[in-house]
Amino acid sequence: MASTTARAPPQDASKTINVGTRKSLLAMTQAEIVVAALKAAQPDYTYVIHGMTTAGDRDQNSALYNLGKGLWTTQLEDKLMANEYDLVVHSLKDMPTTLPEGCILGCTTTREDPRDTLVIKQELVDKHGWKSLADLPDGSVIGTSSLRRIAQLRRRYPSLKFKDHRGNIHKRLQKLNDDPELSGIILAAAGLQRMGMDAHISQFLESDSGGILHAVGQGALGVECREGDERVLNILRSLQDEKTTLACIAERSLMRTLEGGCSVPIGVETHWVDGKLRLRATVVSLDGTEGVDAEEAESISTAEAAEEYGKRVALDLVSRGAGKILDAINAAKPVPTV
């Protein structure tokens, strides 16, 4: 019997863009957001999204600081360099501040809400009307595995307790519901909003409310591509957001200057105020007893100036004691097992 399947017209490889990302629902949603924007700006291309399970997705047990920073990105970058993918969509906060040879941050998309949020267990909200960290009684247990969040929370709310809490957003919300020990968890606003789950948010945390600063790059999407790949760089130019890009360059430069190759728990907050980029940053010891804070504002209009600005604020933090705090954290770190 003759085949009735119509042969698809040959694909023009130069018009196909292979987009890689992690396979989690949040990562796939983020890739779809980027592809929708690319389709609108560059409709001549065909975009194909590929989801991948990375080492970071598989290892749910090791403490986060025990895992290399590139755990969520390295395998995706291998595919990028092998030309299997043409671009990779990441949460910018999961991207190491130094990328492998040949890979570059092709563009940073418009930042969504960069704040962390507190989600209080629904049962406790219904019963007591609790809405914020300040409402929680002494000894309440917060689920989070992030050293940045734990250190800052210990400093501001010394009576809170913490429990390791990992997994994708759905799993974390489910665990909050099921675990009688937990009163609340901390999640990034952007993830919840992208998944349409922001109704769970009890409190938005920021320097002026809750006293917690977010992670470097939080709330922004970073699109990685091959250095010198003009076809892809041209396409990505249509997505680039200038204000987000400069703010995130400054944040990443601050982090790069502080970390010396290791991931460190630092919080930041950047806002454009009267045309200036205001950068707040904090480095806190893991027990929350010591902390160094910075706040500056500067007119920034180039990537180089943003880079210099982040570096300068980082060196200022170091000169006022952040170096000592970070050395103690790095000395206490177990040797990475993966």
Ligand X SMILES: NCc1[nH]cc(CCC(=O)O)c1CC(=O)O
Residue of 184, 219, 267, 291 that binds ligand X (CB under 6 A)? 219
Catalytic residue chosen out of the listed positions 44, 57, 59, 94: 94
Distance of closest approach, residue 250 Cβ to ligand X, in angstroms: 17
User: How many beta carbons lie within 10 A of that of residue 321, not counting itself?
Assistant: 14
**Residue 147 lies near ligand X (rule: CB under 6 A):** no
Residue of 218, 244, 253, 270 that binds ligand X (CB under 6 A)? 218
Nearer to ligand X by Cβ, of 205 and 292: the residue is 205
99-138 footprint of ligand X as x/- string (CB under 6 A): ----------------------------------------
Distance of closest approach, residue 226 Cβ to ligand X, in angstroms: 23
In this structure, what token pair is assigned to residue 138?
A: 């002494």
Cβ neighbourhood burial of 322 (10 Å; 0-12, 13-18, 19+):
buried
Contact between residue 268 and residue 304 where contact means Cβ atoms under 8 Å apart? no
Distance of closest approach, residue 213 Cβ to ligand X, in angstroms: 13
Which of 108, 107, 93, 106 is CA-nearest to residue 255?
93
Contacts of 276 (CB under 8 A, 6+ apart): 297, 298, 299, 300
User: How many beta carbons lie within 10 A of that of residue 161, not counting itself?
Assistant: 14
**Residue 187 lies near ligand X (rule: CB under 6 A):** yes
Cβ neighbourhood burial of 177 (10 Å; 0-12, 13-18, 19+):
exposed
85-104 footprint of ligand X as x/- string (CB under 6 A): ------x-xx----------
- Compute how many residues bind ligand X; rule: CB under 6 A: 9
Contacts of 216 (CB under 8 A, 6+ apart): 93, 97, 248, 251, 252, 254, 255, 266, 268
Residues 188-217 within binding reach of ligand X (CB under 6 A): 188, 190-191
Nearer to ligand X by Cβ, of 172 and 312: the residue is 172
Which of 151, 163, 136 is CA-nearest to residue 213?
151
Distance of closest approach, residue 173 Cβ to ligand X, in angstroms: 11
Nearer to ligand X by Cβ, of 30 and 285: the residue is 30
Where does this chain touch ligand X (CB under 6 A) — which range of 182-190, 229-237, 306-314, 324-332?
Answer: 182-190
Tell me the C-alpha to C-alpha distance, in Å, between residue 143 and each of 90, 116, 129, 159: 24, 13, 20, 14
The sheet that has 276-284: what strands, in order across it?
266-273, 276-284, 291-298
In which element (H, E) is residue 156 found? Answer: helix 147-156
Nearer to ligand X by Cβ, of 194 and 256: the residue is 194
Distance of closest approach, residue 172 Cβ to ligand X, in angstroms: 8
94 is catalytic: yes
Contact between residue 124 and residue 183 where contact means Cβ atoms under 8 Å apart? yes
Nearer to ligand X by Cβ, of 187 and 246: the residue is 187
Nearer to ligand X by Cβ, of 69 and 155: the residue is 69
Active site residues: 94
Enumerate binding residues for ligand X (CB under 6 A): 91, 93-94, 187-188, 190-191, 218-219
